[in-house]
Amino acid sequence: MATNSSAENDPSFALSELFLFYSKNVFVALHIFLFLLGMPGNILLLLVLILGLSRKNGSRITHLTEPLLINIASLDLFFFLYNIPVMLGNVMFKDWHLGYLLCVTYHSLSLWITFADFYSMLAISLLRYTAVIHPMHMVLISPRQISLACIFIWLVCLLFSTPLWIHYGIVEVEGETFCVNQMVSSDLNLYLQLLGGVGFLPALLLMIFCYSRIISTLRVRRILSIHTAVSLHINWRATVMALVTMVALVAMCLPYWLMVFFARYDVVLTTVPMYLAYQLTSLLAFANRCIHPIICFCLSFQFQARLRNLFRRTGKRIRQLGPSHVGRIEVLGSM
C-alpha cells in the first residue's frame, strides 16, 4: 500500500493527541461490543462440542474435525478473556502501567492465537478435501493424529510469534513508560511482510484450492448420482458451512494482512488515513472471532440439534434443583 508523501507532510493529516484519545476510546468501545457478541457464542459452541465428544454416532469426518473446532473455540475464548482486559487497562492510562509480562504476552499471544486459529481452519479444509476427493484415505487418519496436529499447529504458530516474544519490551521516554517493539524498523517491516507473504497467503490459497475442488467434485457426483442423495446432502451442507467460514475469514482478515504486507509499520501511526485504515482492518479481523459460532449454529442442523439438547438438559437440571432450593429456604425461614 503506497503512502502519499504529500499526505504525510500535510499537518491536517497528522495525528493529534486529542484525535488519538477519542479514536482509541471509540475503537475500544467497538471491541467491547464484539466481546459481548462473541463470548456467548463461543462458550455455547465449546460446550456443544465438548458434550458431543462422548457420542458414538456421527460420521468419521465429524469426529475428526470436532477437535479442531474445539481448538478454535478455545483459542477464541482465551483471546477474548485475555486481550480485552489488557486493552482496557492500556486505554485507562496514558502510558503503559501493566508491567513487562503483560507487555510481551499481549502482543505475542495475540499473534500466536490468530495463526493457530487460521491453521486449524486450514487443517479442517484439508480433512474435508480428503473425505470428498480421497475418501479411502480417511481410514488412515486417527483422532490421535488430529490431536498431534493441534500440538504441531501450536508449536509452528509459536515459532511465528518468537520475534515478538524477544523484541517487545518497556521503554521509558521523558518520564513516561511505553510498551513497544524494539526491532529495527526495516527488520520489523520485513518480519510483517514474511508473516503475510509466507505464513498467511500460501495457506489461504491452499484453502481456496481445497474448497474449489470439493465443490466441483460434489456437483459432478450430484449430476452423475454416484453417491446417495442423503450422503451428498450431508457432505454438501458441511462443505457449505466450511466454505462460508473460509469466505468470512478471507473477507474479514485479508484487508488486515494486505495492510500489513504493503504498508510500512513506521508510517501507519503517523497520519490519520493510515491510522484509521490500520485500526479498522484490525477491528474487522477481530470481528471474525464472533462470526464462526454464528455460522455453525445457523448452517448446521447437527449443531442446532445439539444446542437444543444442551438447553433442554440445562432447563431440566434447573427444574430439578428448584424444589430442593425452595425446601431449604422454607426450613431456614422456620428456624
What lies within 8 Å, CB to CB, of 224 at 6+ separation is none
Q: Residue 176 in 3-state DSSP?
A: strand
Alpha carbons 216 and 218: distance in angstroms, whole number: 6
Residues ≥6 apart with Cβ < 8 Å to 321: none
Residue among 79, 87, 82, 88 nearest 42 (CA): 79
Alpha carbon of residue 235 to chain centroid: 24
Give the confidence band of 270 by pLDDT, cuts at 50, 70, 90: low
In this prediction, residue 334 carries a pLDDT of: 47
CA distance 30 to 21: 15
Which CATH number belongs to the domain containing residue 231 in this structure?
1.20.1070.10
- 7 three-class SS: helix
Which three-class secondary structure state does DSSP give residue 14?
strand
Please tell me the pTM assigned to this model. 0.79
Supply φ then ψ for residue 46, to 5 degrees.
-65, -40
- pLDDT beyond 50 at 277: yes
At 170, is the secondary structure helix, strand, or coil? Answer: strand
pLDDT tens digits for 114-141?
Answer: 899 889 989 988 998 888 888 888 878 8
Kindly tell me the burial class for residue 17, based on how many C-beta atoms sit within 10 Å of its own C-beta (0-12, 13-18, 19 or more).
exposed
**Residue 18 placed within a domain:** no
SS percent in the chain: helix, strand, coil, step 5: 85, 5, 10
Give me 274's grid cell. Answer: 493510515
- The pLDDT of residue 296 is 83
Asked, for residue 146, whether it belongs to a domain, the answer is yes
Whose CA is closest to 117, among 105, 109, 107? 109
Q: What single DSSP character describes residue 3?
A: P
Q: Does residue 3 lie in a domain region? A: no
Answer yes or no: is 315 within a domain.
no
What does pLDDT average to over the chain?
78
β-sheet bridge partners, residue 169: 180
Residue 185 has pLDDT above 50, yes or no: yes
| Nearest by Cα to 8 from 269, 252, 255 | 269
- Residue 291 domain-assigned? yes
Position 13 confidence tier, pLDDT thresholds 50, 70, 90: low
pLDDT at 155 over 90: yes
pLDDT at 154: 93
Q: pLDDT per residue over 282-322, tens digit each?
A: 888 888 888 888 888 888 778 888 888 888 888 777 777 76
In the predicted model, what is the mean pLDDT of residues 27-56?
Answer: 84
Would residue 80 count as lying in a domain?
yes
Position 210, amino acid: C
Q: Is 289 exposed, middle or buried (0-12, 13-18, 19+ CB in 10 A)?
A: buried
- Calpha distance 188→268 (Å, rounded): 13
Domain that holds residue 141: 27-304
Give the per-residue pLDDT at 6: 40
19 located within any domain = no
Q: DSSP 3-state assignment of 253?
A: helix
Higher pLDDT: 251 or 56? It is: 251
In this structure, is residue 193 part of a structural domain? Answer: yes
pLDDT at 14 over 80: no
More confident: 112 or 256: 112
* Residue 168 three-state SS: strand
Which pLDDT belongs to residue 222? 66
CA 84-274-252 angle, 5° bins: 55
- Please give the tally of structural domains in the chain: 1
**DSSP-derived 3-state class of residue 58:** coil
